[in-house]
Amino acid sequence: MTDLEKAEALAGGVEITVIKRDKSTEQVKVKQLPVSQMSKYVLALQDEEKIVALVTGKDAKWVESLSNESFERIVEEGDRLNEYFFGRWLTRRRKVAEKIAINEQPALLTTSPSSASPLG
């Protein structure tokens, strides 16, 4: 981790200037998300507008007011700030899912079809 990345992590993100469609500018913090927000990040991965709202803490109307260039910059900064921790978080979630699957296999093998059926 570089000194800049350490400083950004300590600050919880990075301040950038965005340009809106009406040509006004605004300072906004692109956040490094805490672990409590990782599940929301996963759900937003295929929706860049939700990602921008999540990493800035702004609403959909504000996101829509951004110039395309500022929108893309926030997406890129959000990815850069969150990619490393998100990857590690995702690896831990996969390990948990594997443990659950392994621990459920003996129960699946010893359960009779009639007792496993919700119809009994």
- What mean pLDDT value characterizes the chain? 85
The pTM score is: 0.73
| pLDDT tens digits along 2-46 | 766 666 666 689 999 999 999 999 999 999 999 899 989 988 989
Contact 15, 27 (CB under 8 A): yes
Closest C-alpha to 77, from 115, 33, 24, 37: 33
Residue 97: pLDDT band (50, 70, 90) is: confident
- Per the structure block, which two tokens stand in for 57? 């803490």
pLDDT > 60? residue 111: no
Q: How many CB atoms lie within 10 A of CB 25?
A: 11
Residue 57: pLDDT band (50, 70, 90) is: very high
